[in-house]
Amino acid sequence: MKDCLIVTRDFTYHRGPGNPNKCLHFKKGELMYIGDDHHYVESIGWLVSLHTNSQPPFFIPSSYLEEYYLNNLYMYSDIALSINYHQLKVDQSLDRRDAELFQYHSAQLSYWDQLMNGSNEKQKAGSL
């Protein structure tokens, strides 16, 4: 699962101004893989290759990827760490009998777990 990104919120990537045919739509739970074929363009900067199961491979400027990464994408490993953290906090809140923390961390755990399980199902379906 090297360099696997999971979409956490629906978003649209606009490849060209004013042309709706150049828009790529991504849905929550969709997987993206960073390819090895990066290249540098003087006027744009680094272009990163992204691969998905629903779109043909495309290039995106690294600055856009960083922007989307902050708002709409998570690394697979980051989600796994988040699940472990919230599971620990759920266990601690049970030990302390803290209902408020339990509810918060249970909701967070459920969110991240559903995102991870949904992406695992999509990955299995894509590999068949």
What is the per-residue pLDDT across 46-101, written as a single tens digit (0 to 9) for each? 999 998 887 788 888 888 888 877 778 888 889 999 999 999 999 999 999 999 99
Residues 6+ apart with CB under 8 A from 98: none
Q: CA triplet 23, 50, 64: central angle to 5 degrees?
A: 60
d(CA 107, CA 92): 15
Q: How many CB atoms lie within 10 A of CB 108?
A: 17
pTM for this entry: 0.72
d(CA 52, CA 49): 10
d(CA 3, CA 33): 6
Between 123 and 62, the more confident residue is 62
Q: Which two tokens stand for residue 67?
A: 């922007």
